[in-house]
Structure 1
Amino acid sequence: MIRDSTRFIYVKRNLLRQTEAMKTQYLERSPSPDYEVDFYGEVKPFVDEVTETAEAWRVEAKQWIKEARPLYIHPVQVDKTVENALMAAVQCFHTKVRKTRFINTIEAIIYVLESIEAALQPKEQ
């Protein structure tokens, strides 16, 4: 198993929490007629936080894949999930992004994160 699975799980859960925050931002806050985007006060700090978490998760996930060799989770999925998270972190503040595409991106991120969580669970005999 991965050297420090507690850190891996913590980082994964943090990225999942941030992904849910992106969805909430896009669906509830951004469409509000009186909502104004504050780039330096809100967007940049959030994107920086997601970037830090996603990059930490990438390192941990790739190490876990190398050590655990899961059947259905591959390094390219990790890279694509990080790319999607970074893109969604910016897009969640804008209403001109197509809703279906945004939601599909969020669901793809969540799917990979939950698949890894399921793979981390001990197998029942």
Structure 2
Amino acid sequence: MLGWYTEGHTMNEVLLNKTELLILLLEEAREKFASRGEEAPDFFSEVKPFADKVRDTCDEWLPLAEEFANRTRANYIHGSQISAAAENLQSLSISALQPDMRERRFKDLASSVEYVLHQLRDGLKQDQTK
């Protein structure tokens, strides 16, 4: 089912790498939000490439993260939180550069995504030490 992941690496290693990449992409979205201007950026040259990168990474990450949560039945993260984090991060990747995005809304969504990603990352690291 998940045979596309990098040969020679466990599913947890791939998931950890994807989770850390999403954390970096979230930070990039925060930087884009902080530096956005009064005018909406060009969608095809500025917004779409970043949004596509986030979407593609989320599409690879989501089934692995859901599988990990189901397999470990961890108390620290649930499937609904994982799918919501993927949706919210994709939304943030588009709205980060939009001048009409409210700061409070952006920060709330970013914090929610960050919590899930950090919980999952910490759970993966803990699982590796077992």
**Structure 1 counterpart of 2:15, from 8, 11, 35:** 8
Deviation for aligned residue 1:36:
5.9
CA distance in 2, matches of 1:36, 1:75: 34
Deviation for aligned residue 1:14:
0.8
CA distance in 1, matches of 2:126, 2:51: 34
> Quick one: structure 1 residues 78 and 52, their matched pair in 2 at CA, closer, same or farther if it must change by over 3 Å?
same
Which of structure 1's runs of 4+ aligned residues deviate more than 2 A? 121-125
CA distance in 2, matches of 1:36, 1:99: 15
Q: TM-score, normalised by structure 1?
A: 0.87
Deviation for aligned residue 1:66:
1.8
Q: SS state of the match for residue 42, structure 1?
A: helix
Q: Does the CA-based 8 Å contact 2:40-2:99 persist in structure 1?
A: no
Are 2:76 and 1:72 equivalent residues in the alignment?
A: yes
Aligned residues: 120
Residue identity (%): 23
Tell me, which stretches of 5 or more residues in structure 2 are unaligned? 1-9
Q: TM-score, normalised by structure 2?
A: 0.84
Are 2:53 and 1:46 equivalent residues in the alignment?
A: no
